[in-house]
Structure formats: structure tokens, C-alpha cells
Structure 1
Amino acid sequence: MRFVQICAERGIKYNELATMSGVTPSTVYSMMDERRRHIHIDVIKKLCDGLDISLAEFFSGPIFDRLEQEIR
């Protein structure tokens, strides 16, 4: 959801994000599927590089503040 938010804010289409980041469009589109829960950090890093943001900036979004702890 964070990449959806950033793309919407910047007016970037998913194909553009793929091109900017050096990943395939199918990778970006499959990642945008809300049912998908496991995304490798190397893909997140490439997308952040393409958007010219750090991993810290990416994970500082309020969407991550609302996540519940997975292991209790």
C-alpha cells in the first residue's frame, strides 16, 4: 500500500515505477496485489532507489505505525 500511495502522490504509473527501478512490470503489478504478503527487501530497495527515497523514508509512512505485531 505504501508504494500505491507514493505513486499516487507523484503521479507515477506502475510501468513507470518498474522502468525507473529496473524491475519488470509484472513484479510491480504482482506486488500491488493486496493479497500478496511476502515481498523481498531487495525488490523494495530497488523500488525505493527508483523513487529516489531511502528505506528509512519508505518505512516511516504512517501505514507502518498501524501494523500489529506478528509474533506475540
Structure 2
Amino acid sequence: MKTREAVVRRIVQLCKERITTPYGIANQSGVSQATLKSILNGSSKNPGIVTIKKLCDGFEITLAEFFSTPEFDALEQEIE
């Protein structure tokens, strides 16, 4: 699994846990719906840390909590 796939899975997981939609979290976090859509559909190859921090704020979690999952722990280095 690649990092961006892990980010997408984590966002989807958090939406389910918090019983919200991508539309709802976009509104809560201040991230535009277009930006979130591009992350979720894979057209954004590298979502920035500022965007992820805003999403974390919307989910009311820390960056550490966002990245503290088995999927992220299992990622290999992506040096390209």
C-alpha cells in the first residue's frame, strides 16, 4: 500500500467512526470540497500536511492520532 492510499483509507475510516461524510468533514475542517474530493479519488498525488492538519482539526484529533494506525506503521519508504 502506498502512503496516499493509507491517507484515503484513514479519512474514510474517520468519517465512518464519526458518522459524517466527506462533505461534512470538508465543512468542519475548512478544506474545500474540491480538495477533499481530489484526495479521495486519487487525483491529488500528495496531499499537503497543512491540509491533513486541517482535516485533523475537523475530526478533533491530532496529527499523531491520524497517523497512528497499523496501515501507516506498515508502510515502506517511498523513495522515488
Same fold (TM over 0.5): yes
Residue 57 of structure 1 is matched in structure 2 by 65
- Segments of structure 2 that go 5 or more residues without pairing to the other structure are 1-8
Residue 7 of structure 1 is matched in structure 2 by 15
Calculate percent identity across the aligned residue pairs. 49
Matched, 1:44 2:52: yes
In structure 1, what is the Cα distance between the partners aligned to 2:43 and 2:26? 20
- Cα deviation for residue 35 of structure 1 reads 5.6
In structure 2, what is the Cα distance between the partners aligned to 1:18 and 1:44? 11
Give TM-score scaled by structure 1 length.
0.88
Higher RCO by CA contacts (8 Å cutoff, separation 6 or greater): 2
Give TM-score scaled by structure 2 length.
0.80
Misfit runs of 4+, over 6 Å: none
Of residues 3, 18, 25, the one that matches 2:33 is 25
Over aligned residues, Cα RMSD in angstroms?
1.6
- Segments of structure 1 that go 5 or more residues without pairing to the other structure are none
